[in-house]
Structure 1
């Protein structure tokens, strides 16, 4: 059987937020390029693809903070009113419409999975692909990998799993498995993240009672906030992108926002750190008080174990039609700080000895925080820093020393209930490009970050990648040593900044997302201050709409370079 071969100028792998944004920007900058977008699922959307939707699923963000800068989610078209969360089905439709609006929907090849990537002897990359037409080989000059961080489930292994005799699956498959969940009376949901709460809530709405199991040696229950916080009832999803509030999160690219002195004062002086600690204490207490955790024994079990300062993008927002916490008070959701020791027919035995009856078990246990794309031979080796383990250890120590000198407050790490495991940290330039690919300019990752500002980060990462692969950045990477030092500093920062989040494994942004995109914009030669005056620049949230027209603005500023 002959294997088909296809050739492209650029291939984008993944049609979620980041893949769609990268495809759009690349098409705008290189309109003549022959492009393909490969998507393993049957539709656009990634997390919001058709096969992952279930009734009641909504975004954490409200309307206005979860849309691409150049494609407004208007009320007349998408029927989402102001200050409302966005239904999953609406997001799926929106992302599909985006690809159609920018003219590359026909270039998306669905049900098409990349099995292996290798260097092409003629330059560029060779992809081994499975599709409805059979196995194929794709050759491409440029490759953008946008499979993201929610592709490969982290599924626990329990003793006796084969004996359970009921539906037992990861939350990723909640939609697919829904027909098997009809008429169940008791369910177990494993996990303390927002997705576990979503599954538990949906099951109760369908008439089940739920035992929610949160392991005692993890990060604990998620920080989950009411949609409106502070005495002024401001939207949480907007506050995270207010300029002056971002100053209270120390990060090595923070000064890219153009306010280095205030940041140095806040994190480099004792008085400043007192102000920072007070800010986070007030913010945390506001959420704890609003949720009334101490009003019920099971609600107390959902009280976060650590300050919100250390959590990262796991910070979530209550977006349910009725009160989740009322279901806990009513005993419809029973909370256990425990772990499953083994499974038996239609039951689970916990390490405490308690046995729970269950018709189904859904594991909302997160994702393997790595790319699902596999590289052949030395192609994979080129994704890491070209230094020895001894050199890496030395650079780690130097970066740690620099971080703690810049941000002494990070020395006071939280007391974790587990020993952090050794992990393979993603070490890429600007969190997108392996250092050994900077010179060849033919590979970039989009979406290998965890952020509460998904839409804005996706759009600006996509623009940056398109310009980088085309050799059209204004501010280019420095020497190999400068690149390596910066990568080590940025990635080691995550370990200190978000030990209760994903920081040790990958970029994790909360208040850090706005200065991150500002850094990328400076690389592109774009103006980072998007508001009409100084006061609004500091106090108004930077919404996706504030970044509309960036590609057109960039093309106007770079006519000579483009032509």
Structure 2
């Protein structure tokens, strides 16, 4: 007989652990299981994905769960320091143990089948070292994240390359391939490509970094401290008054409608918005001194930071990355790969690069790696015809541009967007067709600079949604459709150089998203204790500690 559960979470990364923790606390009587394909907790920070020198973009204090501070005396990370990957793996494991989640995790368990059951629940097929089994669950949370399925290029001649060729996801398992080599080729312009290139140089090799001329270009990467006042970038993104400068359709959830209407609804306001982003971008360009060296110029971002999204990154290296470029240890090529030859990479220009290894930091397929049998694309999206969807798209586009005229002046892209329909989820977590059924949710299908806070708040929201405990939830299909279309179609216009056309992409939009979910739960979203502090003091995870106790105190009749 198959095992049976009240609730199952698939995935034990930041979002999966947060959702599981919330469900364990809010549903103590339920039989809950977590299935994780890796051998440890962590997702991106699982042990098999770590390599020497890997650190978080965020510094200590902004990359931790609200109810589980990363104390220096326990984890050894000093103030204003980035967090080593091994520390994050340990921290996430400790979090799972502390909140009673770890003993519910079945590791090395790959979910390869999901199907609905006649009873309204779900059947899962799971493969593990012990074999294959099927389980059933009444409710399901999919938290497989956005970095599960690598986007690996296919190169002509790869079968005759005669050297290691793999995706950056495998860099930890195959780190020995860079030992003692002379020449490494790294493909990609994102932060992960810079990380791999840096590690290769540290191991003694010279790196040829290839960035496609018809791609997104080099990542926006900033020093940890920015602006003339030298404030922490990872904290500035959670200063409330700064969030006003990002046009966001759920921004009014913060209660400052007047300020937002002025900034985005008037010519003077929009001029201030453009100035704000220009100052931020110019500060980063000046700090990185891109124009000081011909090779460094190639790494200068191609578009304004306004359009980038959560791909924004922070320099977190022990020694200056850009010095490696100036010294010729990292050579930058803005070209396409034509084909591969034995231990050679041939570019479209005809230039040939020696390669003892080739590592592709070419991103991820930004979609859930799990498919649900019996539910096609319409089953996880809006239940409308293609004709009606086209009309809804047009109406949503018109509304977005009416609310935010600044988005009409779109940047000229060097790449052709291949994005189809974006994820059309209610609150970016629930397929519209499942809102009424309350038996399925997706955790972590958002790309955000505020991972830890968003994971914690979204996990609590999902648990309450599945249990029917939210104070505010859409009641009609029309209400769901209007919100989903506005929120998801906005991404295409807001972050065309990021992931916006495919999935939720948040930068200054993360704090308003937290406001949105907290108000759904009937929890106060202004947590600073004073008007001036509320506007000017950065929100950190600690501002959201104790939410469950707070919710219980204001919902004494809740069924827990």
Q: What's the TM-score, normalizing by structure 2?
A: 0.99
Whether contact under 8 Å (1:118, 1:379) holds in the other structure is: no
Alignment-derived partner of residue 474 in structure 1:
471
Q: Identify the match of residue 385 of structure 1 among 379, 382, 385.
A: 382
Alignment-derived partner of residue 462 in structure 2:
465
- Deviation (angstroms), 1:180: 2.5
Q: Identify the match of residue 212 of structure 2 among 183, 193, 215.
A: 215
1:71-111 deviation line (CA, Å, top 9, x unaligned): 00000000000000000000000000000000121110000
CA distance in 1, matches of 2:419, 2:385: 17
**Residue 442 of structure 1 pairs with residue 439 of structure 2:** yes
Q: Identify the match of residue 496 of structure 1 among 493, 496, 507.
A: 493
**Residue 532 of structure 1 pairs with residue 529 of structure 2:** yes
**Residue 166 of structure 1 pairs with residue 163 of structure 2:** yes
Alignment-derived partner of residue 232 in structure 1:
229
CA distance in 1, matches of 2:341, 2:94: 46
1:474-496 deviation line (CA, Å, top 9, x unaligned): 00113101101110110000000
CA distance in 1, matches of 2:505, 2:451: 11
Q: How does 1:190-269 map to 2 (within 5 A)?
A: 190-269=187-266
Alignment-derived partner of residue 23 in structure 2:
26
Moved more, 166-175 or 413-422: 413-422
- Please give the secondary structure, in 2, of the residue aligned with 1:114: strand
CA distance in 2, matches of 1:537, 1:355: 56
- Deviation (angstroms), 1:532: 2.0
CA distance in 2, matches of 1:528, 1:474: 14
- Deviation (angstroms), 1:379: 6.5
- Deviation (angstroms), 1:538: 0.3
Q: How does 1:123-142 map to 2 (within 5 A)?
A: 123-142=120-139
Counting matched residue pairs gives 560
Q: How does 1:1-16 map to 2 (within 5 A)?
A: 5-16=2-13
**Residue 301 of structure 1 pairs with residue 298 of structure 2:** yes
Note the residue ranges of structure 2 that are not aligned, 5 or more in a row.
none
CA distance in 1, matches of 2:107, 2:513: 32
CA distance in 2, matches of 1:324, 1:179: 22
Alignment-derived partner of residue 189 in structure 1:
186
CA distance in 2, matches of 1:262, 1:519: 18
CA distance in 2, matches of 1:338, 1:104: 47
Alignment-derived partner of residue 279 in structure 1:
276
CA distance in 2, matches of 1:481, 1:155: 40
- Please give the secondary structure, in 1, of the residue aligned with 2:301: coil
Whether contact under 8 Å (2:178, 2:184) holds in the other structure is: no
Whether contact under 8 Å (1:476, 1:523) holds in the other structure is: yes
**Residue 179 of structure 1 pairs with residue 176 of structure 2:** yes
Whether contact under 8 Å (1:119, 1:379) holds in the other structure is: no
1:322-348 deviation line (CA, Å, top 9, x unaligned): 000000000000000001010000001
Alignment-derived partner of residue 37 in structure 1:
34
RMSD: 0.8
- Deviation (angstroms), 1:257: 0.5
- Deviation (angstroms), 1:5: 1.1
- Deviation (angstroms), 1:132: 2.1
> Where in structure 1 do 4 or more consecutive aligned residues deviate above 3 Å?
378-381
**Residue 346 of structure 1 pairs with residue 343 of structure 2:** yes
- Deviation (angstroms), 1:378: 3.5
CA distance in 1, matches of 2:465, 2:272: 39
